[in-house]
């Protein structure tokens, strides 16, 4: 089993789940964090901490010392490609053997025409040019993104979004983390790009029915205009560039770009992907 793995984005949703799974499997891993305080929960899991910042390339060399594989994940940022490029170049200099990048579904089928898609594609292309073995993980939207609707689901029994006709084969972040573990610890994933989806493609109305069943009360979906969604995101303090990028994604979903289902989760992990119904039951306390 592969050892000496560096995880970036380890304090986020997928990164934390990946860290937990690696620690549970006894795999030696190191987390790149900007402060020891943020990294304390990871250290308690048994991960080694490396203090560093992708915006400060000089901090990456010590973080990569002795590392064989790197999991590349950063928070949404208009400079994402630049920041991840710093890591790719540092990994090449450090002799890293394998890069596993968390990308996004739809690269090569239209998403690369959007701002978020272009950012991911730029890094994918740089990784491939580097000559380092790579695996691109391209997940659909996470089921956990539903947590952003928790407040209105609790208070009104309603969640809001544009385009009622949209369908999405969203994936549980736990499945994304499980695939990442396989890519980082097993042979045979080099040179591959995996589109990761849940087991079914659901509309917002169908998601509302699954939430209703899990919570034991009626949850409804209400369609709103795109501009109303834009105003809500802006009002919540979201940066303008990210609001624009998410609106682009709404149209990608509307046109069916994220509706297809793949079998990669089952193929790679040997387990059936988690259904939205199971997700709703497992996280019901978030919405109660």
pLDDT for 171: 98
Of residues 18, 69, 24, the one with CA closest to residue 176: 18
- Identify the CA nearest to 78 among candidates 250, 253, 257, 238: 238
Task: Tally the domains of the chain.
Answer: 1
Quick check: 27 pLDDT over 70? Answer: yes
Residue 181 placed within a domain: yes
Q: What is the mean pLDDT of the chain?
A: 95
- The label of the residue with tokens 């795109």 reads 226
Here the CATH number for the domain that contains residue 132 is: 3.40.50.720
- The answer as to whether 185 is a domain residue is yes
**What pLDDT score was predicted for residue 278?**
98
Stretch 213-232: mean pLDDT, rounded?
Answer: 96
* Predicted pLDDT of residue 65: 96
Q: Which domain holds residue 31?
A: 5-142+170-197+258-274
Query: Do the domain assignments include residue 92?
Result: yes
For the segment 169-185, what is each residue's pLDDT rounded down to a tens digit? 999 999 999 999 999 99
Whether pLDDT at 1 is above 50: no
Report the percentage of the chain scoring pLDDT > 90: 91
Is residue 82 in a domain? yes
Q: What is the reported pLDDT for 13?
A: 95
pTM of the model: 0.95
Q: Quick check: is 210 in a domain?
A: no
Residue at 70 is within a domain: yes
In a domain, 164, yes or no: no
CA 100 vs CA 18, 174, 268, 285: distances in Å: 12, 17, 14, 33
**What average pLDDT does this structure show over 188-194?**
97
**Does residue 179 belong to any structural domain of this protein?**
yes
Query: With 70 as the cut, is the pLDDT of residue 221 above it?
Result: yes
For 77-117, the pLDDT digits (tens) are 999 999 999 999 999 999 999 999 999 999 988 899 999 99
* pLDDT band at residue 3 under the 50/70/90 scheme: low
Rounded Cα distance, 214 and 67, in Å: 43
pLDDT given at position 2: 43
């Amino acid at each position: 089993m592969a050892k000496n793995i560096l995880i970036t984005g380890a304090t986020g949703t997928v990164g934390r789940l990946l860290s937990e799974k690696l620690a549970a499997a006894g795999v030696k891993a190191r987390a790149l964090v900007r402060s020891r305080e943020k990294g304390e929960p990871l250290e308690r899991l048994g991960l080694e901490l490396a203090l560093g910042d992708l915006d400060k390339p000089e901090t990456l060399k010590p973080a990569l010392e002795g590392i064989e594989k790197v999991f590349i994940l950063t928070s949404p940022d208009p400079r994402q490609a630049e920041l991840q490029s710093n890591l790719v170049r540092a990994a090449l200099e450090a002799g890293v053997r394998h890069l596993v990048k968390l990308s996004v579904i739809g690269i090569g089928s239209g998403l690369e025409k959007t701002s978020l898609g272009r950012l991911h594609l730029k890094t994918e292309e740089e990784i491939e040019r580097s000559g380092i073995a790579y695996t691109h993980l391209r997940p659909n939207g996470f089921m956990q993104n539903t947590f952003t609707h928790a407040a209105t689901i609790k208070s009104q029994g309603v969640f809001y979004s544009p385009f009622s006709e949209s369908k999405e084969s969203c994936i549980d972040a736990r499945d994304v983390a499980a695939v990442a573990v396989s890519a980082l610890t097993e042979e045979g994933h080099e040179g591959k790009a995996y589109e990761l989806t849940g087991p079914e493609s659901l509309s917002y109305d169908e998601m509302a029915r699954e939430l209703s069943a899990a919570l034991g009360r009626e949850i409804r979906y209400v369609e709103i205009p795109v501009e109303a969604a834009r105003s809500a995101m802006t009002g919540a303090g979201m940066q303008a560039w990210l609001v624009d990028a998410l609106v682009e994604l709404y149209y990608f979903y509307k046109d069916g770009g994220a509706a297809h289902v793949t079998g990669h989760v089952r193929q790679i992990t040997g387990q059936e992907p988690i259904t939205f119904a199971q997700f709703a039951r497992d996280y019901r306390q978030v919405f109660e």
